[in-house]
Amino acid sequence: MPDESVRRLSLGGHLALVGTLQEEGNRHLLNELTRILYFTFCLEDDGGHVTDPEIFLRAEAALDRAVLRAEETGIWRVRREEAAAIEPILCRYDEQIGAVSSRRYLEAERRLAKLLQSSHSVSPLRSRFANP
């Protein structure tokens, strides 16, 4: 992908996290972090092997906690310890978008759209990595 696109995408993810750590946090920023989480999963899972499922599960749990709090309080914020669980996903995302072809990027976008449109009550991560 073009360097400018990679920088723009990376910056957007990091600014979303910074924004949710501040009073300016909002639903859109948390949704963007969730989108990045699942997009990163889609890209990594494309090869059929996710190297470290725990980083995805930890980030998802942190985002879930932040959303649940926001629904109760109206404050769309991520706590520092939750940010620590999300940061590895942003690093993985940066690595992926810096190395992926535009074609694979668009394929992952289509997979993500399909994933988000499906009606499921269990997280795609938990359903994939559930212990038997």
CA diameter of the chain = 44
Query: Which pTM value belongs to this model?
Result: 0.89
Higher pLDDT, 91 or 122: 91
* CA 124 to each of CA 4, 20, 45, 56, 61: distance values in angstroms, whole numbers, following the listed order: 31, 24, 11, 11, 13
pLDDT value of position 121: 62
Pick the range with the lowest mean pLDDT from 1-15, 17-31, 93-107, 113-127. Answer: 113-127
User: pLDDT tens, 30-84?
Assistant: 999 999 999 999 898 876 778 889 999 999 999 999 999 999 999 999 999 999 9
Report the alpha-carbon angle 102-54-30, nearest 5.
60
Per-residue pLDDT band at 131 (split at 50, 70, 90): low
- Beta strands in the chain, from DSSP E residues, in sequence order: none
User: pLDDT tens, 76-118?
Assistant: 999 999 999 999 999 999 999 999 998 999 999 998 888 777 7
- DSSP for 93-119 reads HHHHHHH--HHHHHHHHHHHHHHHHS-
